[in-house]
Structure 1
Amino acid sequence: LLEHYVKRRQTLLEVAAEAGMSPSNVAKWARTHNIPLRPRGGASHNESLRIRDTARQAPRILRPALNGLAAEERIRRFATASTYPTLGAAAADMGINESSLSSQISRLARDLGGPLHERAEQSHPMKLTPLGKRVAKAATAWLATRDELAEEMPSA
């Protein structure tokens, strides 16, 4: 329990699954052996635990945006949307709501310190700002590398 929960930072649910026990039973054993329990949610979730490592591996320009849950998804969606003439077209092809995509890109822009695109107007397509171009280029290369590595890793 100490090795998996404290040192490896697995969740109670993961430890319980490996041990063939219920999470409440694992929590009981942790209390019995004076192992402090982490609060529910937040830092006990796998994605939260990996954010810092992910940020260290990312290009410097993307690191400020890798600061919370779904950060990589926001970067991935911006990189995808940057190839479309409008956010509406991008959102439709991604199967998400345009306002959701717009708010995710707005948060990404806040995290990275400036606007990433200029909205499409009448007959003019959406245009990336200089920052947006650098972010899209870095994100596309970084995500392609991550995807290649994920494909090479054997599934558990």
Structure 2
Amino acid sequence: MQGIQLAAPVVPRTQTLLQRHRRRARRPGHDHHRASATLRHPGVTSRPELLHTLGSDIPADVRRAVEGGLAGWHRLHRFQMAMTFPTINTAADHLGADQAALVRQFRRLERDIGAPLFYRATHAQPMRPTPRGQALLRALTRPEIRAHMTNAKKK
């Protein structure tokens, strides 16, 4: 037994890679997820011409949906169109959109506005707007808001 040397324990490669990753992450000023990309301040986008600031004459829900983000008018238009269909699936088929994408857009719209905008369809009832969604749909039919929506589509 005296002449036999024991080999060093084998360390799995994943462990050594993890240790290397941790060492790099500890370096000052090193962001391992975004090594060369610069971070933007909240609200700053690469396309500021697509951001809209609306006057106080526009309803608050419309302003919340449009200001500070991109494609707000597009989401509002899709919401307006989708509410004429019994389900999101039929709305997505008509709009030529993916059903999951439409759901994501509506969730974003609800998050921006801060309230649920429609009741989901069940077997017994089609989808329909909540009272807040009905107010939003009424606002979207106002001539000055329709003009804003039309101008946004042209950009």
Seq. identity, % = 32
Correspondence 1:38-117 to 2 at 5 A: 42-48=45-51, 51-52=52-53, 55-56=54-55, 58-66=58-66, 67-117=68-118
Q: Hey, what does 2:5 align to over in structure 1?
A: none
Q: Hey, what does 2:125 align to over in structure 1?
A: 124
Decide which structure has greater helix share: 1
Q: Hey, what's the Cα distance between the residues in 1 that align with 2:103 and 2:47?
A: 29
Q: Hey, what does 2:146 align to over in structure 1?
A: 144
Q: Hey, what does 1:25 align to over in structure 2?
A: none
Superposed displacement of residue 132, structure 1: 0.7
Number of residue pairs matched by the alignment: 107
Q: Hey, what's the Cα distance between the residues in 1 that align with 2:145 and 2:86?
A: 21
* Residue aligned with 1:65, SS: helix
**1:47 is aligned with what amino acid?**
L
**After superposition, what is the alpha-carbon deviation per residue over 1:122-146, rounded to whole angstroms, capped at 9, x for unaligned?**
1310021111111111123355333
Superposed displacement of residue 82, structure 1: 1.2
Provide TM-score, normalisation by structure 1.
0.59
5+ unaligned residues in a row in structure 1: which ranges? 1-38
Instruction: Provide the aligned C-alpha RMSD in A.
Output: 2.4
Bigger CA radius of gyration: 2
Q: Hey, what's the Cα distance between the residues in 2 that align with 1:128 and 1:44?
A: 32
5+ unaligned residues in a row in structure 2: which ranges? 1-39
